[in-house]
Amino acid sequence: MPTNEPLKELKICPVKTSLDIIGGKWKPYIIRTLFLNGVVRYNELKREIPGITDMMLSQSLKELERDFVIDRVQYNVIPPRVEYSLTENGMGLSIAVQELAKWGNIQLDRNV
């Protein structure tokens, strides 16, 4: 029975791995906000990303934290304070994000 080598290669594609981690509807907005603002609290993120629900913001933040893209620091004060920032790993996206933004702007200009 022949094997399907191209499918095997797709399973370990580094581009797909990257997009699995940072892709989706809301993660690019979160990453962009953290690049622009540094340390950001939950409600600030919510204000910066119109249309995102609490559930989707929480889920996206948990996934980005799990994948070592963002760091979450909780302060034991009343009321509770939680801050998010990019990890060193997340900061490694800087060049990729800038290049994607350039490419995206070209695509936007084409469609105008």
Report CA dihedral (104, 58, 91, 75) to the nearest 10 degrees. 150
pTM more than 0.75: yes
Coil, helix or strand at residue 2? coil
Contact 34, 84 (CB under 8 A): yes
Domains parsed from the chain with CATH numbers: 13-110 (1.10.10.10)
Q: What is the pLDDT of residues 21-51, one digit of tens each?
A: 999 999 999 999 999 999 999 999 999 999 9
Tens of pLDDT along 4-20? 566 565 568 888 889 99
